[in-house]
Structure 1
Amino acid sequence: MTGTEKLQELIDRSARIVFFGGAGVSTESGIPDFRSVDGLYNQQYKYPPETIISHTFFTRRPEEFYEFYRAKMLAPDAKPNPAHLKLAEMEAAGRLSAVITQNIDGLHQAAGSREVLELHGSVHRNYCMDCRRFYDARFILASQGVPRCVCGGVVKPDVVLYEESLDGGTLERAVQEISACDLLIIGGTSLAVYPAAGLIRYCGGRIAVINKSATPMDGQADLLVQEPIGRVLGAIRVRAPR
Structure 2
Amino acid sequence: MVSLLLSQSSRESSFDESDVSVSSRSTPQKVSNTSSRKDVRTERLHVIKELDTNDEKLLQINRLLNKSRKIIVLTGAGISCNAGIPDFRSSSGLYQMVKKEFPEISMRSGQEMFDISLFRDELKISMFATFMERLHSSVKLAQPTKTHKFIAHLKNRNKLLRCYTQNIDGLEENLGLEMSTSEQDPNLIGTSFNARWKNYDVVQLHGDLGTLACTRCFHVFPWNRYWCRSFRRGELPACPQCEEKNWKRCQEGKRQIDNTGCLRPNIVLYGENHPSSESIAQGLNLDISRGRSDFFIIMGTSLKVDGIRKVVRQIAKQVHERGGIVLLINKTSIGDSSWHGLIDYHILTDCDSWVTYLQEQLPDFFKSQETIDRQKLLKRESSELRKKRAAEQLAKTHVKTPPATPKRVKSEQEEVTKNGIQSVKKRLLNISNEVPSKKSKMSEVQVDLPPTHTNI
| TM norm structure 2 | 0.48
Instruction: Return the offset for 1:80.
Output: 0.4
Instruction: Return the offset for 1:210.
Output: 0.6
Q: Percent identity?
A: 26
Could you give the per-residue CA deviations for residues 199-224 of structure 1, whole angstroms, max 9, x where no partner exists?
00112212011111112466442232
Look up the equivalent residue of 2:329 and give its one-letter code: I
Structure-2 change in CA distance of 1:120 and 1:216 (3 Å) = farther
Instruction: Return the offset for 1:79.
Output: 0.9
Structure-2 change in CA distance of 1:67 and 1:109 (3 Å) = same
DSSP-derived class of the 1:195 partner = helix
DSSP-derived class of the 1:89 partner = helix
Find the counterpart in structure 1 of residue 71 from structure 2: 17
User: Where do 5+ consecutive residues of structure 1 fail to align?
Assistant: none
Q: Which moved more, 1:159-168 or 1:218-227?
A: 218-227
DSSP-derived class of the 2:144 partner = coil
In 1, Cα distance between the equivalents of 2:309 and 2:205? 10
Find the counterpart in structure 2 of residue 50 from structure 1: 111
User: Where do 5+ consecutive residues of structure 2 fail to align?
Assistant: 1-53, 179-200, 244-260, 320-324, 360-364, 373-456
Computed over aligned residues only, the root mean square deviation of the Cα atoms, in angstroms, reads: 2.5
Instruction: Return the offset for 1:73.
Output: 5.8
Q: Identify the match of residue 146 of structure 2 among 82, 91, 95.
A: 82
Find the counterpart in structure 2 of residue 164 from structure 1: 272
Look up the equivalent residue of 2:281 and give its one-letter code: L
Instruction: Return the offset for 1:10.
Output: 2.4
Contact 1:33-1:39 at 8 Å conserved across structures: yes
Q: Which moved more, 1:203-212 or 1:60-69?
A: 60-69
Could you give the per-residue CA deviations for residues 85-122 of structure 1, whole angstroms, max 9, x where no partner exists?
11111112101111100000001112232211111111
Instruction: Return the offset for 1:11.
Output: 1.5
In 1, Cα distance between the equivalents of 2:352 and 2:295? 19
Could you give the per-residue CA deviations for residues 207-242 of structure 1, whole angstroms, max 9, x where no partner exists?
01111111246644223211110121243433669x
Q: How does 1:62-81 map to 2 (within 5 A)?
A: 62-72=125-135, 74-75=137-138, 76-81=140-145
1:99 counterpart = 2:169: no
In 2, Cα distance between the equivalents of 1:194 and 1:106? 23
Contact 1:208-1:224 at 8 Å conserved across structures: yes
Flag the structure with higher strand content: 1
| TM norm structure 1 | 0.87
DSSP-derived class of the 1:212 partner = coil
Flag the structure with higher helix content: 2
Instruction: Return the offset for 1:4.
Output: 6.1
Find the counterpart in structure 1 of residue 328 from structure 2: 209
Find the counterpart in structure 1 of residue 220 from structure 2: 134
Q: Identify the match of residue 124 of structure 1 among 210, 216, 219.
A: 210
Instruction: Return the offset for 1:16.
Output: 1.1
Look up the equivalent residue of 2:157 and give its one-letter code: A
DSSP-derived class of the 2:297 partner = strand
Contact 2:236-2:264 at 8 Å conserved across structures: no
Q: How does 1:138-157 map to 2 (within 5 A)?
A: 138=224, 140-144=227-231, 145-151=235-241, 152=243, 153-157=261-265
Q: Identify the match of residue 88 of structure 2 among 16, 25, 34.
A: 34
Structure-2 change in CA distance of 1:176 and 1:226 (3 Å) = farther
DSSP-derived class of the 2:366 partner = coil
Contact 2:207-2:267 at 8 Å conserved across structures: yes
Look up the equivalent residue of 1:104 and give its one-letter code: I
DSSP-derived class of the 1:38 partner = coil
In 2, Cα distance between the equivalents of 1:5 and 1:132? 50
Q: Which moved more, 1:212-221 or 1:196-205?
A: 212-221
Contact 1:33-1:40 at 8 Å conserved across structures: yes
Look up the equivalent residue of 1:232 and give its one-letter code: W
In 2, Cα distance between the equivalents of 1:170 and 1:67? 30
Look up the equivalent residue of 2:80 and give its one-letter code: S
Look up the equivalent residue of 1:22 and give its one-letter code: G
Look up the equivalent residue of 1:228 and give its one-letter code: D
In 1, Cα distance between the equivalents of 2:81 and 2:308? 19
Contact 1:74-1:105 at 8 Å conserved across structures: no
